[in-house]
Structure 1
Amino acid sequence: MKKKILLSLFAIALFSCEKEFLDTESKQYVTQTQLEELANSSPEALLTINTGVEDGQYAFFREYSTNFEDTGGRHDDFGQMSINLGLDLMSNDMVQVTDHWMGNYYAYRGRTQDFSTTRIIWNFYYSIIRNVNSIVAQIPADATDDRLVHLRGRAQALRAYSYFNLIRIYQHKYQGNQSAPGVPLYDGADLVIPSRASVQEVYDLIIADLENAYATVDGYVRDSKEKLDKSIIAGIYARVLLETGTNNTKCAQMAAEAKAAGSLMSSSAWLNEGFSQISNSEWLWGSDINNESSTVYASFFSQVASLNAGYAGLLGVHKTIDMRLYDAIPATDSRKQAFADDGTYINYKFRDFTFFEGDYVYMRVAEMYLIEAEALARNGNDSQAAQVLYNLVSTRDSGYTLSTNTGQALIAEILLQRRIELWGEGFAWFDMKRNDVALERDYPGSNHASFGKDNYAAGAKEFLFQIPKRELDNNIDINDEDQNPL
């Protein structure tokens, strides 16, 4: 991350072992000076170049072997969904029954500096940052062409999204840790902090990026759910504000705006095609997987879908639900049917009805209901929060009634609903960190596998990933003393 890199029109190809995202005739290198000249003389050409970079970035989200250091490829590296699944496997709520691919997450091995897992995460998000920085740097902040303005805003939102995930993985929660060391910052222009910028400095960039992105994408109409628009930026902003707890009013507003871009699916859809089709009315953001883009065995559905002919379904490397969470789901709640009731707790939530062509979901309407409800509750608006929660849960649970809980009891109810609704979608471990929840897998009758049956106190060092050894070796501004504890 320290070296100055000339932007290649074909740079995205560095991140794929077999796919080319830009025109194969555009393999020449272009210097920053040439790009600046394009910005001044030919906005149309600059737009074409950067749109190609942006489209390649969205494809990178669901690519196999995103970590260019592992040239042989790893079947636990398939873009954003591999990280979502891996981090959920580090929570209390998900069990991996056999030590296999993804086991590095479940057993907390992958957090240490020499493991491929931490390299995968680090390289994935910094690859996105590097590429979107090329867009931000090339398009002047005072550009007047709406197409360029919209593109710059979307690039900033992707950068904010990447830094938001990095800071939560490589440091503890925001509250109480604002001055703690975070991650290196690069914005493609003046801001370069190759050492560990503070948590506050990282969040300052995240918020600034989201503020600008939200303000500048008005009028942009995306042509697919794979791309960001104002509603998705609002959803990302809501996630960030929920994490920081600094503006619950705005958090609720952003979540409400995001959720308005879709509609809740039925309980029947939730149990059937609800997590494999990007056309679902509840999906706000995702990747459209087809025969060409499928990564087959190195894919989310191979790892998690119990009815697929992949690692979970064929080899029995099942991802099951923690028995305590299963027991907490009421019998009247249709979501309980997504898990086997025979004591195995095997999940059937994720079902791919084609041969490894199930789509990937990154944001849903239901999540925004839950964020809005929690933000309202934390702001003391209990009745409003309870109503928002009811509007969601009543579509899943025929026996659910409007909550009469208030204060912390209402917040606890909302957090339980987050665990049930969003199981397996990449939120559980982050929520544990945010809410100071300990890892407790070794309990009487536990259904957790022996290789991951550990207990760690809330805020323990185990909740931090270490910076990859390669970064320590190559970045002269980060030393061994700057490393997270082992």
Structure 2
Amino acid sequence: MLFQNIKNTICKGALSLVCLTFTVSCESFIEIDPPASDLTVDVVFADPKTVEATVTGLYSSAFISGNFWHYAPHFYGGMIADEIYARTATVFDDLRYNTYNPNIATYGLFWSNGYKIIYQANSIINGLEKNTVVSEALKQRYTAEAKFIRAYMYMLIAGYYGDVPLILTTTMSETSVAPRTPKAEVMAQVIKDIQEAETVLATVAMPTTKVNKLAASALLARVYLYERNWDLAILKATEVLAGSAKLESDLNKVFLRTSTEAIWKISSQNSNPSLIDRTSYAQMIVPSETGLPTYPNYTSLYRSFEKGDKRKEKWIGYRISGTDTLTFSNKYKQRATPADASLAEDAIILRLGEQYLIRAEANIQKGNLKEAVADINVLRKRAELPNLPETMTQAQMILQIEKERRAELFVEGHRWFDITRTGRADAVFGAEKPTWKSHAALLPISRADMESNPKLIQNPGYN
């Protein structure tokens, strides 16, 4: 069963980090037999250094360059949407055409990797409840970080699967047979976790490479938008836009380590010996100077940019193959560790550009079109595009914000959520993919997970 298989993750992660071996992927941890008792967990939480290592390990297991959540929303999420496809690898055709097979493990990766991180977060939260070896301030901070990451994971897997088991414990008798929880309840817990994290982190100075108060507010703004709470989405986005992050005027600097736009990022500095100062995503997507892209963009993405949009020039690369032009995402540019340290890149998970679009979309839904146009025009100005007119109707603006989000946030893990949450999947993906069927807006639970938990019910269309 999933949680039985990963019970030892937190213990192994903490001890591995202390031994400076945390550059190994989290995948290797799941093969370890679970301990006969909770003695190992007790040992981990009995020493301040291993507690700190365990919290650091939560970031590493999830987001370190090369691990699943570092690239999955961009890579797999881009494939199941209409952003990238595998040029030669037919193994990804079922993602490209949304013809999912529950017997294939790929779709279960979102589920299993998501719950691995949730289990680690739960272990930290529960392990710190009565802990006396760290100060109260550190206990609150570590708990806030774990709750934020748990919320982030639940937001993602609920977006891919819909109803998912809401698990807040590490008790095997409960987790191994947990049924699916209505998505509304899961998202309510997501909001609760982020709110609690935000309150604690408001009193703590944290770098952008760690969960911080601004990141909590930014994620809340996104979740409120997804949940159609327009007023709170506007409120939180406004708080973030008034914060310390500043929009980069140079598009080439948005994804650098030095980016002033970054709200929350994962450092690639000395984190993975094989990927120093660069991201695994760039290594996967950006071709060599003479090679063709393995995962090019859909032609429709390239054609969706307005004439003169500098994002197309700065963030899209291309290669010529015979009579064809193959384009690829070039937001992250470093395939190898750059010789010039000023070109180092970190994986940016939350950035300021999104917040302008969150506030704009919420204002559009409320009918505040003048305010929405003003926010959109901030990003259009940076892209050297003309301002949108204030005479557009609400219906026109609803379609416009979809277009603006595509141009600004492409291949950053947003497109799938943007199209499915607005009920536009049939219209958008159906037009791009002849094999599209409505039920593909939710992924199937893998057969392995279904068989390990008899209380799980498969999503419609996959039985």
Q: Does 1:155 align with 2:128?
A: no
Instruction: Report the Cα distance in structure 1 between the residues aligned to 2:317 and 2:189, rounded to whole angstroms.
Output: 44
Matching residue's letter, 2:303: D
TM-score (normalised: structure 2): 0.81
Residue by residue over 1:20-74, the C-alpha shift from the partner in whole angstroms, topping out at 9 and shown as x without a partner, is 379xxxx9979658967998xx7xx3x53332112112122345775xxxxxxxx
Match of 1:179 in 2: none
Equivalent pairs counted in the alignment come to: 430
Q: State the match for 2:102 in structure 1.
A: 113
2:166 alignment partner, one of 185, 206, 218: 185
1:375–1:469 CA distance, 2 compared to 1 (3 A): same
Q: For the structure 1 residues 142 and 378, does the alpha-carbon distance in structure 2 shift closer, same or farther, using more than 3 Å as the test?
A: farther
1:133 and 2:133 aligned: no
Verify the 8 A CA contact 1:153 1:216 in the aligned structure 2: yes
Tell whether the 8 Å contact from 1:118 to 1:467 is kept in structure 2 after alignment. Answer: yes
How far off its partner does 1:218 sit?
2.0
| SS of equivalent residue, structure 2 residue 297 | strand
The residue matched to 2:11 in structure 1 has which SS?
coil
Q: Within 5 Å, give how 1:394-433 maps onto structure 2.
A: 394-433=381-420
Q: Where in structure 1 are there 5+ consecutive unaligned residues?
A: 67-77, 172-181
- Return the match for 1:462 from 429, 434, 440: 440
**Equivalent-residue separation in structure 2 for 1:14 and 1:256 (angstroms):** 41
1:81 aligns with 2:71: yes
Q: Distance in 2 between matches of 1:289 and 1:38?
A: 26
Give me the CA root mean square deviation.
Answer: 3.6
Partner of 1:218: 202
Matches within 5 A, 1:15-414: 19-20=21-22, 45=47, 47-63=48-64, 78-99=68-89, 103-109=93-99, 111-140=100-129, 145-171=136-162, 182-188=163-169, 194-223=178-207, 225-245=208-228, 247-259=229-241, 260-266=243-249, 269-270=250-251, 272-275=252-255, 277-290=256-269, 293=272, 299-306=280-287, 308=288, 314=291, 316-323=293-300, 325-337=301-313, 338-339=315-316, 344-347=325-328, 349-353=330-334, 355=336, 358-414=345-401
Question: Residues 104 and 286 of structure 1: is their aligned pair in 2 closer, same or farther, counting only changes over 3 Å?
Answer: farther
**What percent identity do the matched residue pairs reach?**
19
- Does the 8 Å contact 1:136/1:156 carry over to 2? yes
User: Who is 1:74 aligned against?
Assistant: none
Q: 2:80–2:98: 8 Å Cα contact kept in structure 1? A: yes
* CA distance in 2: counterparts of 1:294 and 1:371, whole angstroms: 36
Tell me which of 456, 465, 471 is aligned to 2:449: 471
Distance 2:202 2:101 in 1: 42
Letter in 2 for 1:319: P
Query: Does the Cα contact within 8 Å between 2:123 and 2:169 map onto a contact in 1?
Result: yes
How much does 1:98 deviate? 3.1
Taking a change above 3 Å as real, the CA distance of residues 408 and 218 of structure 1, as seen in their structure-2 partners, is same
Are the equivalent residues in 2 in contact too, given 1:112–1:465 (CA < 8 A)? no
The residue number in structure 1 matching 2:27 is none
- Deviation at residue 374 of structure 1 after TM alignment: 0.7
Q: Does the 8 Å CA contact 1:320/1:344 hold for their aligned counterparts?
A: no
CA–CA distance in structure 2, aligned partners of residues 295 and 411 of structure 1: 43
State the 1:353 CA deviation.
3.5
In the alignment, the residues of structure 1 paired with residue 268 and residue 392 of structure 2 have an alpha-carbon distance, to the nearest angstrom, of 42
1:152–1:84 CA distance, 2 compared to 1 (3 A): same
8 Å contact kept, 2:14–2:53:
no
* Cα distance in 2, alignment partners of residues 102 and 359 from structure 1: 27
Question: Alpha-carbon deviations, 1:196-218, whole Å to 9, x = none?
Answer: 11212212221221222122222
Whichever structure has more helix as a proportion of its residues is 2
**Deviation of the 1:418 alpha carbon:** 0.2
In structure 2, distance between residues paired with 1:334 and 1:96: 26
Q: Secondary structure at the match of 2:349?
A: strand
Cα shift readout 1:385-435 (whole Å, capped 9, x = no counterpart): 221222222111242345432422222212210001111111111111011
Matched residue, 1:175: none
SS in 2 for 1:393: helix
Q: Name segments (4+ residues, structure 1) moved above 4 Å.
A: 12-15, 27-39, 63-66, 100-104, 141-144, 189-193, 294-298, 340-343, 439-443
Q: TM-score, normalised by structure 1?
A: 0.77
Residue range with higher mean Cα deviation, 369-378 or 401-410: 401-410
> Partner of 2:12 in structure 1?
10
**Which stretch shifts more, 50-59 or 342-351?**
342-351
Offset at residue 365 of structure 1 (A):
0.7
Shift in alpha-carbon separation, 1:318–1:10, aligned structure 2, 3 A:
closer
Distance 1:258 1:104, change over 3 A: farther
Q: Does the CA-based 8 Å contact 2:248-2:261 persist in structure 1?
A: yes
Q: Deviations over 1:124-169 (max 9, x none)?
A: 1111101110111122399981221121112111111101111110
What SS does structure 2 have at the residue aligned with 1:9?
helix
Task: State whether residues 286 and 335 of structure 2, in contact with CA within 8 Å, keep that contact through their aligned partners in structure 1.
Answer: no
SS in 1 for 2:265: strand
Which residues of structure 2 form unaligned runs of 5+? 25-31, 339-344
